[in-house]
Chain A
Amino acid sequence: MDGWLPIVILLGLGLAFAAGNVLLSQFVGPRSPSPEKAAPYECGMPAVGDARERQSVRFYLVAMIFLLFDIEVAFLYPWAMALRDLRWAGYVQVLVFVLVLFTGYVYIWRKGALDWSSREE
């Protein structure tokens, strides 16, 4: 038994265990519903408004910067595997690539995209 099948089996075991437990607790646990229990938890106060309000734009910014850098990392993996064949030629090329990326990195740093709390606020 080789290849991916064992991973799928382990994945299946985990899935069955998790789903089974969630299902099981529906049956063995007690049931005594009340409107207070069905309300979202807000430290004992009556819930105000909806949870899905506008959130800080910084979360979005982090996601976008992450995408850019993650592509860089995805690009570096095959290079790392082939490094022994590419030798200095490949190394210098990646150095240039990282340098280009570095200018972008300096730009977003200077723009304050990496600062979570800005002092102006």
Chain B
Amino acid sequence: MNPAVIAHLVLIVAIFFALQISAAVLVYFERKIAARIQQRLGPYRVGPHGVLQPLADIVKLMFKEELRPKAADTWLFYLAPILSATAAFAAFAVVPFGSETTLFGLLDQPIRLQVADVNVALLVVFAITSMGVYGIVLAGWSSNSKYSLLGGLRSAAQMISYELSYALALAAVLVLANSLSLREIVEHQAGHWLGVIPKWYVFLTPVGFIVYMIAGVAETNRAPFDFPEAEQELVAGYHTEYSSMSFALFFLAEYVNMVTVSAVAVSLFLGGWFDPFGLTPEWLGWVWFLVKVSALLFFYIWMRWTLPRYRYDQLMAFGWKVLLPVATVNLLAVAGLVVWWG
């Protein structure tokens, strides 16, 4: 096999494990940050400062009894978490996290730091993240439990409602970049205006960025929009009946989805791997990518532990009556400006 293919395969496997590790790290930081916000210490027993806590949790979950309600639909019941986790992993495939590298001259031709550079990347992201809703609805339906079913239905209604604004916010970037490839979109954001302001799309369509972030929170079912698992009303929503590793897969999927939504936001609006000052060499781009994604993830966690949950009717009203018109007007305004300036 030629070395470029081997390097690419290694890269794919590395990204796969990086996604898993990122979920574990994210869980740790979420608990630590939550603890700090509530003036607690958080996990502290397992390893120095509790850093091994996620690992301990996974091992514990693995050795728990796998419960399945008698009335549940066996195949769909086990298919649901598998579907959720698979969709979560696959969505990251088209996100570029750095420019090209030859691994310090190890390879003849450079490889791109990305699983696949397809020319319809945005549509792929859109398609695969929408698949996530199937896992949740199937989980809710197959469990044959009232809380699960209601959680699944709510989640489906919520996700499809916010998907419209999500798609319209993406379309605004599409108009600006005139490309569906995430790599090309990032490359369009290179350089600076007046030598100081980076040419990021967040400055061209700030409204689009805000709409995207709000819709992204709703799409990943995170607080303040975490209705599918609103504890006070629905116990644990769609995964009430799940235990052991199938529960862990839903958990994993949620965190991997957060990473993907943030990574796509960084690529679309925050200049991907380009650094804001233009000082660091290009091969260190992935560090900037990590920094930006971490910042967005911190924002996610911060929001969860700061804002109370909305009411369900407020959520639907906000999605349909505020976010959708705003996203549409934003798209038309951006398109108008693009035609105006040529």
* Residues on the A chain within 8 Å of B161, using CB: 62, 66
Interface size class, chain A: 35 or more
Separation of A39 and B15 alpha carbons in the complex (Å)? 40
Contact partner of A62 (CB less than 8 A), chosen from B118, B160, B336, is: B160
Does A19 have its Cβ within 8 Å of any Cβ on chain B? yes
CB contacts (< 8 Å) of B115 on chain A: these are: 6-7, 9-10
Count, A-B residue pairs, CB within 8 A: 206
Q: Is the CB of B235 within 8 A of A25?
A: no
User: Does B320 interact with chain A (Cβ within 8 Å)?
Assistant: yes
CA distance A28 to B338 in the complex (A): 59
Shortest Cβ distance from residue B160 to the other chain A in the assembled complex, whole angstroms? 4
Bound CA span A77–B117, Å? 20
Known: A6-B12, A51-B146, A66-B160. 16 other contacts (CB 8 A): A1-B8, A6-B8, A7-B94, A7-B118, A11-B86, A13-B13, A17-B20, A21-B62, A25-B62, A40-B146, A41-B69, A55-B150, A59-B156, A66-B164, A91-B339, A94-B335
Tell me, in angstroms, the Cα distance from A42 to B145 when the chains sit together: 8
Q: Is B25 an interface residue (CB 8 A)?
A: no
Looking at chain B, what size class is its interface with the partner chain?
A: 35 or more
Let me know if A111 is at the binding interface, CB within 8 A. no
In the complex, what distance in Å separates the CA atom of A117 from the CA atom of B316?
10
B46 beta carbon closer than 8 Å to chain A: no
Closest approach, in angstroms, between the C-beta of A56 and any C-beta of chain B? 8
Decide: A21 and B245 in contact? CB cutoff 8 A.
yes
Does B153 have its Cβ within 8 Å of any Cβ on chain A? Answer: yes
Q: Mark A17-32, 1 if CB is under 8 A from B, else 0.
A: 1110110111011111
Cβ–Cβ contact A116 & B244, under 8 A: no
Are B90 and A116 in contact, CB atoms less than 8 angstroms apart?
no
What is the bound-complex CA distance between A23 and B240, given in angstroms?
20
Known contacts A26-B66, A62-B160; is A73 also within 8 Å of B167 by CB? Answer: yes
Q: Is A50 an interface residue (CB 8 A)?
A: yes
Indicate if B174 sits at the interface (CB-CB under 8 A).
yes
* Complex Cα spacing A59 to B133, Å: 14
Residues 29-60 of A at the B interface (beta carbon under 8 Å):
29-32, 37-43, 50-52, 55, 58-59
B32 nearest CB across to chain A (Å): 26
Of A2, A91, A98, A114, which one neighbours B328 at CB under 8 angstroms?
A98
